[in-house]
Structure 1
Amino acid sequence: DWPASLRRTLTWDQGRELYHHEEIEDLTGFRIYFCDPHAPWQRGTNENTNGLLREYFPKGPSLAHYPLRDLTQVERELNERPRRVLGDRTPAEAMRRWSRKLAYR
């Protein structure tokens, strides 16, 4: 469960899968913003993550075609892969570090 300080906003691309964004806002408490069309720089982390995912899954087929075991393995690998934006820490390390800071507040 994410703390309220990390659940304030969410920025999404323009896509029909987000048709129910108002319902998602109500259910999650996130305020959802949409990026401008043709402005991928407004979603830098998302674009980078999409590129990393393309190393495992080709563009096109739905992820529903992959076994949960495969998706979980990719999730684990990506969460253990160092990222420049995180000071060369992995997302897992960054989350552990962040959660320890919260625990001491």
Structure 2
Amino acid sequence: MTTKRNARPAVKVGAHVRFRGLKWQVVALSGRDIRLVGPDGGETVLAGYLCADPGFTVIRADAPQAAPKWGLFETAPATARENALAWQRHVREVACGLPGGPGSEGVVREQ
């Protein structure tokens, strides 16, 4: 939570919120999109939709706990994400011989 006097808890990465009757952790923010992880997986919701839920509350906002790898990926700077995705095709090709990954069309290169 914020340390300002009389301030309201903020929805930020690491915050825990109650939404649709379940406890979720905020793992990424992107514009109006909020990425949540709950007991059965994750989903992205619009901030207005989240806040309009009748049971919505910020439970606590503290340091992020362990988050799935995709949640951490979304919090990386845009240029770092672009570089990682550019390398993804090459890594898949090294792993299985096909740029599109296992099961994709094409001919495996001899190298």
TM-score range, shorter chain: under 0.3
Q: Which has the higher strand share?
A: 2
Higher helix share: 1
Which structure's relative contact order is higher, taking Cα pairs within 8 Å and 6+ residues apart?
2
Q: TM-score, normalised by structure 1?
A: 0.27
Return the TM-score normalized by structure 2: 0.26
